Chains A and B, each alone.
Chain A
């Protein structure tokens, strides 16, 4: 055993996380003393955290470091950067690309890549405009049709990948070009279709706020999030305690819920000092909660992780790998279409450059910076939010400093490269530490 030399000896009787709390907990089983067991209490978390970082399990650490660095730099350059209005702007604009990033997290969990999400989002906004403006379709029905089209496009990519065996990279690269071409063809000579500011376009727009900017709205959301996390953790604790398996001690739950409470209520306060919580952000956050639940708590989500972790193992366990691949690409296409609707809401139009430029790169960078591995099987959907916070901060900051597109592209490219380097290096040190 090569890694036994650097492991720390711990009391082998501490297999349950909180044996003192509960004398009826499962009988302490014999544990190989060379293996790492977490100590109790705060100190245990600290040593565990240090060991994880050394072992390359960075999790969300790069995000927090990155955010602090970026916010400091931009604040020094322009003191309006950390103003409530600007932060509110960041929170609004991050949701559109964030939607693409949610879809990408699914694909990245399989260890694949979808290069078409930007083009699909652009096509979606154009399709919606064509439905509503040219054909007079009801805007909600048009939204539904658009999202279904996105899902269909994604499923088509998935089908070529899973059934025909074309590498996902190539299929979606073809999609990247092809769907962008279709969008340009639909837009035709005019190049822009203006969409009336009503229905979903208004909902996703900049002037649509949760509970019509009522101050209570933001706090209600924050309270709801904190309360549901608290309730969920306590119910989980009770069930685990009853079943006699290790559970989180109450102190840890308090710490986690407390941290979330501080973060959400500060965010609510800041957004309230500007205009309120935009509905786009609310929809983005709600999507995150739902998707997180699907990925972590349903058999379908478990299958995605299994396929990302080992295709052969998944297949032997009776998982239909092709079905998982096709549905995952379909989900990515669906979220790309929703993201495209958000873009349409931002400008109330379908334009030639919707979903173009660096949109795709930003979405990929967001997912990877947030901690979802490009190598598959590791990550959470919250990386879409965390990564977008970083990315959108950079975007908004550069806009604030009136940087050229040329500079913006170069910086975005560097950030994406940096994120992937962190991912690769952390994966390598995870391998060295026997964790990958």
Chain B
């Protein structure tokens, strides 16, 4: 499933970020390869959002290096991140309710045909994009207001893909969705992977993470607290890393017994 390329598309090396007296991120490492879904998990205030915002260019980093295709880059503005190929879908989807699906997909980057909005090409491309992603929407000419929460979420994700990004960041894409809609969004995440995109998925839902992620990166109090391949990791191990419960009497005893066995 995971075909890890040699150089990660995006790599954070020892990234730190301070807000006044608060050390939000301390020497965080993160690697995202093409065609890999990295779930970023952690308790509230663990620094997930801050980390994502440093990648998206909302908060410039204080220390450390961000590498893009192995080369160090500086991301100081959202524009820099977009220019590199980072697309971010925030939790509030920021779609215009009154515009139709096509209008929202191309908002701010309408295709023009002799200076006039080229609705036909936009609609054609939108239908192609949505059908390659197997997104089920009654019509691309329906206003966003008439779509369900899950459909809005997939439209917001599809919109992120219009600019041909290499990395897509999804901030809690399933937080407000029902079972079926969550399944749709998770399907879509898999399809992003099939398109060889790197996906950073922030989620609180372990079931979602186990379902689609290849790697789980755990943040705790602004520091890395382990990075696990999903296949070989149990639910409990991830939860333990999130809550910091790994360091307790049981684990220490377990550690001693394995040492003794050697």
Please give the residue numbers on chain A whose beta carbons come within 8 Å of chain B beta carbons, in ascending order. 1, 15, 26-27, 29-32, 35-37, 236, 239-240, 243-246, 297-299, 302-303, 305-306, 308-310, 312-314, 316-319, 376-378, 430, 434-436
**Which residues of chain A are within 8 angstroms of B134 by Cβ–Cβ distance?**
30
Beta-carbon contacts under 8 Å, B72-113 to A: 90, 92-99, 103-104, 107-110, 112
15 of the cross-chain contacts (CB-CB < 8 Å) are A15-B139, A26-B127, A27-B131, A35-B137, A37-B139, A240-B123, A243-B123, A246-B139, A246-B141, A297-B116, A305-B96, A305-B99, A306-B108, A309-B96, A435-B145
How many residues belonging to B are interface residues under a CB distance threshold of 8 Å? 37
| Chain B residues positioned under 8 Å from A298 (CB to CB) | 115-117
Known: A15-B138, A298-B115, A302-B107; 7 extra A-B contacts, CB below 8 A, are A30-B136, A305-B98, A306-B96, A306-B108, A309-B97, A310-B96, A319-B107
Q: How far is the CA of A236 from the CA of B118 in the complex (A)?
A: 11
Name the residue on A nearest B130 (C-beta): A29
Given known contacts A37-B139, A245-B127, A302 and B95 CB-to-CB distance under 8 angstroms: no
- Expressed in whole angstroms, the minimum distance between the Cβ of B114 and any Cβ of chain A is 10
Q: Which residues of A contact B123 (CB under 8 A)?
A: 240, 243, 245
Known A31-B136, A317-B108, A319-B108: A310·B97 in contact at CB below 8 Å: yes
| Docked pose: A378 CA to B137 CA in angstroms | 22
A32 touches B94 (CB 8 A): no
Instruction: Tell me whether A302 and B120 are in contact (CB under 8 A).
Output: no
Are A35 and B138 in contact (CB-based, < 8 A)?
yes
- Contact in complex: B136, A316 (CB < 8 Å): no
* Residues on A with beta carbons closer than 8 Å to the beta carbon of B103: 302, 305-306
CB neighbours (8 Å) of A316 from chain B are 90, 94
List the 5 shortest-distance A-B pairs measured between CB atoms, nearest first: A317-B108, A309-B96, A377-B98, A309-B98, A35-B138
**Contact assessment for B138 and A37 in the assembled complex, using a CB-CB cutoff below 8 Å:** yes
Q: Does B148 contact A (CB under 8 A)?
A: yes
Give the complex CA separation of A245 and B34 in angstroms.
32
Report how far A308 CA is from B141 CA in the complex, Å: 18
**Interface residues, chain B, with chain A CB atoms under 8 Å away:** 90, 92-99, 103-104, 107-110, 112, 115-117, 120-121, 123-124, 127, 130-131, 134, 136-139, 141, 143, 145-146, 148, 178
A contact face: mostly helix, strand, loop, or mixed: loop
Interface pair A436/B110, CB less than 8 Å apart: no
- Say whether, besides A302-B110, A319-B108, A377 and B138 are in contact (CB < 8 Å): no
A32-B136, A245-B120, A314-B96 as given contacts; A435 in contact with B110, CB under 8 Å: no
Residue of B nearest to A29 (CB): B131
Known: A240-B120, A243-B124, A244-B124. A436 touches B107 (CB 8 A): no
**In the complex, are the beta carbons of A434 and B145 less than 8 A apart?**
yes
Alpha-carbon gap, A312 to B112, bound state (A): 24
Kindly provide the distance from the CB of B144 to the nearest chain A CB, expressed in whole angstroms: 8
CB pair B112 A299 closer than 8 Å = yes
- A296 CB to nearest chain B CB (Å): 8
Chain B residue nearest to A27 (CB atoms) is B131
Query: What CA separation (Å) do A313 and B92 show in the bound complex?
Result: 9
Shortest Cβ distance from residue A159 to the other chain B in the assembled complex, whole angstroms:
23
Q: What is the bound-complex CA distance between A299 and B130, given in angstroms?
A: 23
B116: which A residues are within 8 A, CB to CB? 297-298
Chain B residues whose CB sits within 8 angstroms of the CB of A37 once the complex forms:
138-139
Beta-carbon contact of A243 and B120 below 8 Å: yes
Residue of B nearest to A317 (CB): B108
A312 CA to B130 CA, complexed, in Å: 24
Tell me which residues across on chain B come within 8 A of A1, comparing CB atoms.
148, 178
Nearest-neighbour CB distance to chain A for B49, whole angstroms, equals 16
Complex contact B115–A31 (CB within 8 A): no
The docked-state distance in angstroms from the alpha carbon of A32 to that of B93 is: 22
Contact A308 B120 (CB under 8 A): no
Q: Which residues of B contact A27 (CB under 8 A)?
A: 131
Q: CA–CA, A316 to B159, complex, Å?
A: 12
Compute how far the CA of A306 lies from the CA of B96 in the bound complex, rounded to whole angstroms.
Answer: 6
CA distance in complex: A378, B134 (Å): 30
Q: Are A306 and B107 interface neighbours, CB within 8 A?
A: yes
- Chain B nearest Cβ from A56, distance in angstroms: 11
A29 to B146, CA, bound (A): 19
Residue of B nearest to A434 (CB): B146
Q: How far is the CA of A144 from the CA of B131 in the complex (A)?
A: 52
Quick one: given A302-B110, A317-B107, A377-B97, are A239 and B138 in contact (CB under 8 Å)?
Answer: no
> In the complex, A436→B145 CA distance in Å?
5
Q: Do residues B107 and A308 form an inter-chain contact, with CB atoms below 8 A?
A: no
